[in-house]
Amino acid sequence: MSAESTHVAMTLSDHLPILQILVPLVSAPLIVLIGSRRLTWSLAFIASVLSFGIAILLLMQVIDGSIISYQIGGWAPPLGIEYRVDATNAFVLLLVTGISTLVLPYARESVKSEIPAKHHTLFYAAFMLCLTGLLGVTITGDAFNVFVFLEISSLSTYVLIAQGSYRDKRALTAAYDYLIMGTIGATFFVIGLGMLYMATGTLNMADLADRIADQGSNRTVRAAFAFIVVGMGLKIAIYPLHLWLPRAYTFAPSAVTVFLAATATKVAIYVLLRFTFSVFQPSFMFEVNTLEFIILPFAILAMFAASFIAIFQNDFKRMLAYSSIAQIGYMLLGISLLTETGLTAAIAHLFNHGITKATLFMGVGILALRSGGSFYNRIQGMGKSMPWTSAAIVIGGLSLIGVPGTAGFISKWVLVEATIEKGWWPLSVLIVLSSLLAVIYVWRVIEVLYLKTPLAGTDYREAPFSMLIPMWIMALACIYFGLATDVTLTASRAAAQGLLAGSAGMM
């Protein structure tokens, strides 16, 4: 009897990689089929907690540098689809499931106030599908599978953004614009994959890496690289391809914005990392040129242009959306340096910016819950009536600037270190200058919250605990990861080394 139960337990732990996807995937139709408004949220939350647990177990298995390869349906790679977990994507899986587990308790109140009750079941189903897609993109080792999961997450994202239409009808056009641009991006990505398949005859990432390394660069491979970078660029919102982002983030329901800002663009950056470093070799001249002469200037442009636009916003939520574009610039800058330190900075910033922006967007959602909007003159003086919410926003804001002692400082510090190491000190100056722009736009929020007199006749209650607690967990994480720098930096450095080792790191 006991032997049998250990056998079952072993089988289950062997199947963790597929369970990571199956749990949220199955929960989505289950939510719709059960259709009970009372159970909906609990089902989604349980599924999210389970996948968070699975992500922790997976990370524990691969933290020593080993790799889990899971064959779907027992079909051996490279012909069958393979799920491949290593330190890098286990880290991303943990980030995504962790954020979703924190966002769901927060979402409960927020969604109640923003979306009519009859749509709640479908909302949470779409949310779980979005989570499934993001996890699938991260865990899979098959290039075409990336596309399929990317579309699962994108389609549900469009639905989630459109749910903002009950507050502002512009959410519909925002979702439509994102649908058009997102589909063009995903289709570009598929064209790239098709060209890779033509050149190599395989779709397994590790196998692709080997065959591309063998045959070297040729025009098909170069064209494939260009299509994949532009396609993912649309999803990441690399500077000139960012047009969908501010509108989508501004008009989406608060909980959706928190989730997307902290995970969706981060997962897209992970895919870009996988393709530039694992599938293609960083030693290819065309790749070095692309990163140095195209991505790098656009990253710097994003850091300044988006920050400038953020300063002149008078809507807190929209300001944060523009700031996200600027912060994505820092990550791309780190990647385009093509050094270990640069990559470490990019991956650390990916994580740190995820928790920072989650804190801030949660804050916006809470302010909007009480005041009915996030315009500066709607929320002015709320620092007095809602001290806890405002304090967490200040912590998030400091982390966004990169004040020492917060998470944002660490990754920016490593980024500056990376530019100096490479001898490109003007870039270090630019990083500091653009951080000063962040000081301005964050100061405007602090000024509005604390120094302006509250609107007459408003005495807002502090937010419900179900929203405050997730927000403060995020805010404390911003401080914790700013003080305990070893945790993020060690993990990021391990991931960077794994990526730079190229296909060797994948095999």
- Other CB atoms within 10 Å distance of the CB of residue 7: 10
Amino acid at position 13, single letter: S
Candidates 367, 369, 350, 364; CA nearest to 489 is 350
Applying CB under 8 A, the span of 61-69, 127-135, 210-218, 372-380 interacting with other proteins comes to: 372-380
DSSP code, position 291: I
Q: What is the nearest approach in angstroms of other proteins to the Cβ of residue 224?
A: 12
Q: Residue from 377, 404, 432, 504 that binds other proteins (CB under 8 A)? A: 377
Tokens linked to 253: 């329901």
Nearer to other proteins, 143 or 360 (CB): 143
**Position 134 contacts other proteins (CB under 8 A):** no
Find the shortest distance in angstroms from Cβ 476 to other proteins: 31
Q: Which is nearer to other proteins, 173 or 215 (CB)?
A: 173
CA dihedral (102, 106, 111, 114) positive or negative: negative
Stretch that binds other proteins, among 64-72, 146-154, 210-218, 496-504 (CB under 8 A): 146-154
Strands (E) located in 58-153: 68-71, 82-85
Binding mask 378-417 for other proteins (x = CB under 8 A): x---------------------------------------
CB of 53 to other proteins, least distance (A): 30
How many residues bind other proteins, per CB under 8 A? 36
Interface pick for other proteins out of 289, 314, 433, 490 (rule CB under 8 A): 314
From the list 107, 69, 83, 101, the residue with the least C-alpha distance to 20 is 83
Closest CA to 445 of 379, 349, 370: 379
Name the residue among 158, 199, 163 with its Cα closest to residue 180. 158
Q: Whose Cβ is closer to other proteins: residue 286's or residue 375's?
A: 375
CA 44 remoteness from chain centre: 20
Chosen residue from 103, 159, 445, 496 binding other proteins by CB under 8 A: 159
DSSP 8-state symbol, 72: G
| 187 C-beta neighbours (distance < 10 Å), count | 15
Q: Is residue 307 involved in binding other proteins (CB under 8 A)? A: no
Q: How far is the CB of 480 from other proteins (least distance, A)?
A: 34
Reduce the secondary structure of 387-415 to three states and give it as a string: HHHHHHHHHHHHHHHCCCCCHHHHHHHHH
Instruction: Return the number of the residue (167 or 493) whose C-beta is nearest other proteins.
Output: 167
Minimum CB–partner distance for residue 80 and other proteins (Å): 12
Q: Binder to other proteins among 41, 83, 123, 147 (CB under 8 A)? A: 147
- Check binding of 312 to other proteins (CB under 8 A): yes
Cβ-based nearer residue to other proteins, 161 or 331: 161
| 3-class state of residue 240 by DSSP | helix
Measured CA to CA, the distance from residue 401 to residue 353 in angstroms comes to 11
Shortest separation between residue 227's beta carbon and other proteins, angstroms = 10
Q: Does 464 bind other proteins (CB under 8 A)?
A: no
Q: Whose Cβ is closer to other proteins: residue 33's or residue 180's?
A: 180
Q: How far is the CB of 420 from other proteins (least distance, A)?
A: 36
Smallest distance, other proteins to C-beta of residue 171, A: 9
Tell me which of 49, 59, 148, 479 binds other proteins, using CB under 8 A: 148
**Nearest Cα to 445, choosing from 409, 412, 401?**
401
d(CA 431, CA 467): 34
Q: Identify whether the C-beta of residue 258 lies closer than 8 Å to the C-beta of residue 365.
A: yes
Which residue from 304, 308, 375, 450 is in contact with other proteins, where contact means CB under 8 A?
A: 375
- Count Cβ neighbours within 10 Å for each residue of 80-114 and write b for 16 or more, e otherwise: ebbbbbbbbbbbbbbbbbbbbbbbbbbbbbbbeeb
Closer residue to other proteins in complex, CB, 260/416 = 260
- Distance in Å, CB of 167 to other proteins, minimum: 12
- Looking at beta carbons only, is 317 or 353 nearer to other proteins? 317
Task: Please tell me whether residue 244 binds other proteins under the rule CB under 8 A.
Answer: no
Q: How far apart are the C-alpha atoms of 398 and 478, rounded to whole Å?
A: 9
Apex CA 180: angle with CA 142 and CA 32, to 5°?
70
- Residues in region 160-199 near other proteins by CB under 8 A: 162, 165, 169-170, 172-173, 175-176, 179-180, 183-184, 186-187, 190-191, 194, 197-198
Dist CA 507 CA 504 (whole Å):
5
Backbone φ, ψ for residue 140 (5° rounding): -75, 150
Does 313 contact other proteins by CB under 8 A? yes
Identify the residue among 235, 266, 274, 318 touching other proteins (CB under 8 A): 318
Residue 354: Cβ within 10 Å count: 24
Task: Kindly state the smallest distance separating residue 315's Cβ from other proteins, in Å.
Answer: 6
Question: Cβ of residue 313: shortest distance to other proteins, in angstroms?
Answer: 6
CA gap 261, 245 in Å, rounded: 10
373 or 464: CB nearest other proteins: 373
Least separation, in Å, of the C-beta of 170 and other proteins?
6
- ∠ CA 92-480-404 to the nearest 5 degrees? 105
Residues at the interface with other proteins (CB under 8 A) = 144, 147-148, 151, 155, 158-159, 162, 165, 169-170, 172-173, 175-176, 179-180, 183-184, 186-187, 190-191, 194, 197-198, 203, 312-315, 318, 375-378
